[in-house]
């Protein structure tokens, strides 16, 4: 009996820690030590590491470790770091991992992200990854990104980290003569403010750069496969009503084939370029079944790559320097996430009014940037024509996107949140959408056990984006 009581109390403690990690208004509390780890290859200069460590200290990280290793040794070093954190005996407030290597050597860092996500001490806590690269064979030196980050993090401590990164992205493209734009990927569930200042209190420092000017034409393209997708009509209705309320001119196409996805995007781009009035924003919603590698499946079952559709809109001259929003309601693989965290008895779970698990992909922020601000190719960071893009995926990479007869959790929650606060910063609103989606327990049609879902938000926005003044 004593063992049962002790176990129940331990579960209660862990659940309370998880609930407290997101305080009022969805802000991470960061209770516990902040720890930072820098993993760098031998090419990295001492000056770059010194700048990083100064930034870490400014942001309140008490423990800053540095290890020099080959890229192949990063995973082992990170596994040791995870074990070290789990050995602390209590929750960690926040972890920041900087990965520094010549461009192209890191490849796909998701294995490193997953390794740290296994850390019990970081369950429900933010995990930040900074992936900093340079030209192959070149030394990593301080560039526009690190310079801007070090300048802002000390005097703009009331900003959320997403606000701060958006401003740094602008300065990076300006100082590098518009040859490069960083990008971040976020599954955060709340506002992350590392400066120990409430971001909603009166601001004593300058506000972020003026937001995007949305006084011109706003255009929305909704492409949805409804056939054999129960609830898809409700998503179309909710999104169409939301776009109308936000003054978007809407083009709707249902049941497009794979070829029609591409053709509709081309026609959408050409129509925008042909407008005599200025265009200020474009929103594209892609709703369909998804393939095992994140492809979209047209009504004919054929595949189309969403990246090709993004690139097509990037060619639009009328949208240069304007925000381009992509909403993707589709599966990105077949994995069903059971979540991470302790398991409680059902009555105990109901008593606490909290789900005992969070999605295993949640609470992660990955920042991809280049040390010298030179052009880079790839899906994570690129040249300036990749700037001003916001992509929101209904599922994490490799995971199922859930939907039922009432519609999808992503689209329905998005409409609910934006209708309640249409004038809020869109990145912060999307973070709130993710928080609500992550709290849900979903039951798929072919899965008898409840599973978790988590959004992925990718942004290269360079200004705050508010859809209503």
Domains of the chain: 2-186 (3.40.50.1460), 217-340+388-459 (3.40.50.1460)
Average pLDDT of the segment spanning 19-29: 66
Can you give the pLDDT at residue 380?
A: 40
167 vs 51: which has the higher pLDDT:
167
pTM over the 0.85 mark? yes
Point out which residues pair with 222 in neighbouring strands: 252, 285
Token pair, residue 252, equals 């709707």
Q: pLDDT-derived band of residue 109, with 50, 70 and 90 as boundaries?
A: confident
Say how far apart CA 226 and CA 95 lie, in whole Å. Answer: 42
User: pLDDT tens, 201-224?
Assistant: 444 444 556 899 999 999 999 999
Question: pLDDT over 70 for what percent of the chain?
Answer: 81
Of 331, 399, 438, 454, which one is the catalytic site residue? 331
Higher pLDDT, 47 or 245: 245
Q: How many angstroms separate the CA atoms of 303 and 420, rounded?
A: 36
User: Has residue 18 got a pLDDT over 70?
Assistant: no
Q: What is the rounded distance in angstroms from the CA atom of residue 463 to the CA atom of residue 198?
A: 21
pLDDT-derived band at 181, boundaries 50, 70, 90: confident
Quickly state the pLDDT bin for 9 (edges 50, 70, 90).
Answer: very low
- State the Cα torsion 8-13-14-15 to the nearest 10°: 90
Name which of 267, 301, 307, 302 is nearest 286 in CA terms: 307
Percent of the chain beyond pLDDT 90? 59
| Element of type H or E holding 248 | none
Give alpha helix (H) positions in 61-127: 74-86, 110-117
Copy the structure tokens of residue 225: 């496969």
- Rounded mean pLDDT, 32-39: 93
Q: For this structure, is 234 an active site residue?
A: no
Query: β-strands 456-459, 324-329: how paired?
Result: unpaired
Report the pLDDT value the prediction gives residue 138, as an integer from 0 to 100: 55
333 and 109 in contact (C-beta within 8 Å)? no
pLDDT value of position 107: 72
Look at the alpha carbons of 225, 426, 364, 457 in this order and tell me if their dihedral is positive or negative.
positive
Tell me which range, 89-93, 219-223, 330-334, 384-388, is most confidently predicted by mean pLDDT: 219-223
SS3 234: helix
Among 158, 234, 289, 361, the one annotated catalytic: 289
d(CA 139, CA 272) in angstroms, rounded, equals 43
Terminal Cα-to-Cα distance of the chain (whole angstroms)? 59
C-alpha 274/C-alpha 252 separation (Å) is 19
The Cα–Cα gap between 316 and 389 comes to 13
Q: What is the pLDDT of residue 234?
A: 97
pLDDT at 205: 46
Tokens of 200: 């909603």
Residues 434 and 431: their CA atoms lie apart, in Å, by: 5
Round to whole Å and give the CA distance between 64 and 46. Answer: 15
Give yes or no for residue 368 having a pLDDT over 90: yes
Of the pLDDT bands very low, low, confident and very high (cuts 50, 70, 90), residue 394 is very high
Cross-strand bridge partners of residue 466: 425
Structure tokens at 331: 């599966």
Q: What is the predicted pLDDT for the residue at 49?
A: 84
Mean pLDDT across 160-185: 84
Catalytic-residue membership of 181: no
Pair type for strands 22-23 and 94-102: unpaired
Element (H, E) at 199: none
- Give burial (CB, 10 Å; 0-12/13-18/19+) of 178: middle
Return the minimum-mean-pLDDT range out of 361-365, 450-454, 463-467: 450-454
Non-local (6+) Cβ contacts of 271 within 8 A are 219
Tokens coding 428 = 């912060």
Helices 258-274 & 306-314, crossing angle to 10 degrees? 10
For residue 343, what pLDDT band results from cuts at 50, 70 and 90? Answer: very low
User: Distances in Å between the alpha carbon of 219 and those of 233, 276, 281, 336, 455?
Assistant: 21, 14, 7, 34, 24
Residue 325: in which H helix or E strand, if any? strand 324-329
Res. 31 pLDDT band, cuts 50 70 90:
confident
pLDDT recorded at residue 22: 67
pLDDT of residue 113: 93
Average confidence score pLDDT of the chain:
84
Lowest mean pLDDT among 33-37, 77-81, 172-176: 172-176
Is residue 362 predicted with pLDDT exceeding 80? yes
Task: Place 198 in a pLDDT band, splitting at 50, 70 and 90.
Answer: low
């Amino acid at each position: 009996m004593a063992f049962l009581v002790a176990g129940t109390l331990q579960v209660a403690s862990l659940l309370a820690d998880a609930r407290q990690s997101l305080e009022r208004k969805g802000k991470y509390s960061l209770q516990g030590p902040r720890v930072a780890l820098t993993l760098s290859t031998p090419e990295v200069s001492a000056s770059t590491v010194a700048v990083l460590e100064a930034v870490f200290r400014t942001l309140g990280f008490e423990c800053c470790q540095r290890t020099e290793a080959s890229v192949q040794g990063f995973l082992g070093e990170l596994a040791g770091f995870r074990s070290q954190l789990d050995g602390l005996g209590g929750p960690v407030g926040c972890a920041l991992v900087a990965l520094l290597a010549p461009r192209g050597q890191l490849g796909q860092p998701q294995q490193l992200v997953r390794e740290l996500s296994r850390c019990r001490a970081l369950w429900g806590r933010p995990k930040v990854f900074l992936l900093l690269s340079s030209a192959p064979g070149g030394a990593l030196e301080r560039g526009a990104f690190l310079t801007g980050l070090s300048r802002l993090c000390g005097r703009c401590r009331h900003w959320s980290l997403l606000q701060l990164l958006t401003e740094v992205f602008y300065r990076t493209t300006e100082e590098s003569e518009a040859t490069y734009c960083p990008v971040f990927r976020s599954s955060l569930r709340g506002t992350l403010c590392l400066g120990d200042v409430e971001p909603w209190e009166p601001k004593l420092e300058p506000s972020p750069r003026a937001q995007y000017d949305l006084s011109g034409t706003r255009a929305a393209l909704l492409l949805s496969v409804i056939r054999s997708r129960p609830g898809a009509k409700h998503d179309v209705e909710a999104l169409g009503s939301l776009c109308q309320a936000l003054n978007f001119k809407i083009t709707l196409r249902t049941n497009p084939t794979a070829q029609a996805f591409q053709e509709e995007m081309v026609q959408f781009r050409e129509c925008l370029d042909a407008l005599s009035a200025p265009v200020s924003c474009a929103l594209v919603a892609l709703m369909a079944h998804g393939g095992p590698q994140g492809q979209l499946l047209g009504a004919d079952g054929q595949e189309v790559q969403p990246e090709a559709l993004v690139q097509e809109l990037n060619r639009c001259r009328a949208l240069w320097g304007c925000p381009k929003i992509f909403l993707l309601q589709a599966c990105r693989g077949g994995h069903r996430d059971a979540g991470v965290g302790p398991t409680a008895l059902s009555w105990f779970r109901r008593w606490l009014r909290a789900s005992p698990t969070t999605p295993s992909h949640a609470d992660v922020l990955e920042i991809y940037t280049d040390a010298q601000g030179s052009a880079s190719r790839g899906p994570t960071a690129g040249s300036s024509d990749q700037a001003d893009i916001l992509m929101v995926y209904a599922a994490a990479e490799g995971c199922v996107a859930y939907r039922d007869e009432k519609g999808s959790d992503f689209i329905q929650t998005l409409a609910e949140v934006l209708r309640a606060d249409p004038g809020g910063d869109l990145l912060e609103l999307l973070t709130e959408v993710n928080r609500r989606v992550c709290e849900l327990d979903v039951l798929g049609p072919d899965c008898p056990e409840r599973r978790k879902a988590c959004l992925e938000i990718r942004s290269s926005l360079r200004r705050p984006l508010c859809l209503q003044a």
